[in-house]
Amino acid sequence: MASVSALRAALLGSFSVLVTVLLGFGLPSLLNLGARALGLPETSVTECIVALYLGFVLYVATPRIPRGSVKVEGKAVFITGCDTGFGHALAKHLHKLGFTVFAGCLFKDKGAEGAKELEELCSDRLKVVQLDVCSDEQVDQAVKYVKENLGDTETSLWAVVNNAGVSTFGEIEFTSMDTYRRVSEVNLWGTVRVTKAFLPLIRRAKGRVVNVASMSGRMGCPSQSAYSVSKYGVEAFSDCLRYEMKAWGVKVSVIEPGNFLAATSIMTRDSVAVTAAKLWREAPTQVQEDYGKARFEIYMAATRSHCNTGQKDAASVLDDITDAVVSKRPYTRYHPMEPHSWLRVQLMTHLPGAMSDFLYF
C-alpha cells in the first residue's frame, strides 16, 4: 500500500512539473507561433495571454452562434410531463413553431387542467397522450398511439423530450429508501424507459433525444441527494446514449436548468409542508433525537422560503430545448441558469474537490 502511494505521489509530482514546464516554455512560444501564422507582428507573451483570455470571455458572453435549422414540416416531437411547467409550455411552443406534438400528460385520464388546456387548442398537430413514465404498459401504449397517428403520413418522429420529473429534499438521514426509489423511478428510469421505447422511431428519422436533467445532475447539494442521484444518472445515461447513437446520426442533448422554482410547480410551499411532515414522521427516533426538532424546523423554514426563488421566466429553458430539437448542430449540454449558478457549476466540476469544497461548503 505504501509503495502504491509513493508511486502515485511520484507520478503526480512529475506530472505537475511536466505541465508547469510545458506551460512555462511551451505556451508562450505556441502563442507567438500562432501570432506569426496569422501574419501579426511578433507580439509579447502578455498580449497573447490577454487575447486568449479575452477570447474565452467572449466565448462565454457572446450570444449563440447561428448553426442553421432543420425543416419543421413533417416532423413530430414527443414530450413527457406536459401537465405543467416546462413541458406544458414547450408543447405549446413547439406546436406554434409547426411541429406535430405528442404531449404526454400524467393525469390526462383524470381530466387534469394542463391536459384539458392542451386539448382545448383543438389542433390536428397537438395530441395529448396519457403517460405515466413509470408504467411499461402506458409507455408501450404511447408508442403504439404515436405509430398509429403517424401512420402513412409523411411525418416522422423527430425528437423525444424527456422532461417529466419530480423533486424532493431532505438530509440523507431523513430520506427513506422509498423516496430514493420513487424519485429515480420517475426522473431516471422514466427517462430510460421512454427513450428505449421510442428509440427505433427516432433512429429511423436520424432525430434527437433531449433529456432534461438539472444543474443538480452536475454537482451535489446538501438536502438534495435523492434528486441529485437521479439527475446524475440522467447525465450518465445521456452520455452513453450519445456515444452509441453517433453511428446512427441521432443527436443527444442534455438540458441542465438552474433554479426555476418560481416558474414551475415542481416545489411549492404546500408540497414542502407535506414533505417536511413526512420526513420528520418517518425519521428513525435516534435521528430525530440527534438532529432535534428545533434545528429541523429552521431548516424546513429555509426550504419553504426557497420555493419562490430563482428565475420566474422559463423562456431560456424553452429556447435551449428548442435549439436542441431544431438546430442542425445542437450542443451536447445546455445551461439555462443565472450567471452565479453557471460559475458555481464550472468551479465545482473543474476545480479539485478540496478547492471547490473550500469555496462553497
Ligand X SMILES: NC(=O)c1ccc[n+]([C@@H]2O[C@H](COP(=O)([O-])OP(=O)(O)OC[C@H]3O[C@@H](n4cnc5c(N)ncnc54)[C@H](OP(=O)(O)O)[C@@H]3O)[C@@H](O)[C@H]2O)c1
Catalytic positions are 227
Distance CA 209, CA 4 (A): 43
- Alpha-carbon distance of 85 to 265, in angstroms, equals 6
Q: How far is the CB of 264 from ligand X (least distance, A)?
A: 3
Distance CA 146, CA 153 (A): 12
Shortest separation between residue 262's beta carbon and ligand X, angstroms: 8
The β-bridge relationship of strands 251-255 and 208-212 is parallel
Query: What backbone phi and psi angles, to 5 degrees, belong to 251?
Result: -100, 135
216: nearest Cα among 193, 198, 235, 199: 235
Q: Cβ closer to ligand X: 80 or 275? A: 80
Of 115, 111, 64, 109, nearest to 88 by C-alpha is: 115
Nearer to ligand X, 216 or 296 (CB): 216
Interacting residues with ligand X (CB under 6 A):
80-81, 83-87, 106-107, 131-134, 163-167, 186, 190, 212, 214, 257, 259-261, 264-266, 310
Closest-approach residue to ligand X (CB)? 85
- How far, in Å, CA of 67 to CA of 52, rounded? 24
Under 8 Å between Cβ of 80 and 105: no
Helix ranges restricted to H, the chain: 2-21, 27-37, 45-61, 85-97, 113-119, 136-150, 177-184, 190-205, 225-246, 269-282, 285-291, 293-306, 315-326, 339-350, 353-360
The minimum distance between CB 234 and ligand X, in angstroms, equals 8
User: Minimum CB separation from ligand X for residue 269, in Å?
Assistant: 14
Measured from the CB atom, the residue of 82 and 300 that comes closer to ligand X is 82
Of 134 and 150, the one with the shorter C-beta distance to ligand X is 134
| Identity of the residue, 163 or 327, whose beta carbon is nearer to ligand X in the bound complex | 163
User: Taking a C-beta distance cutoff of 8 angstroms, is the pair 211, 254 a contact?
Assistant: yes
Taking the complex as a whole, the smallest distance from the CB of residue 219 to ligand X amounts, in Å, to 12
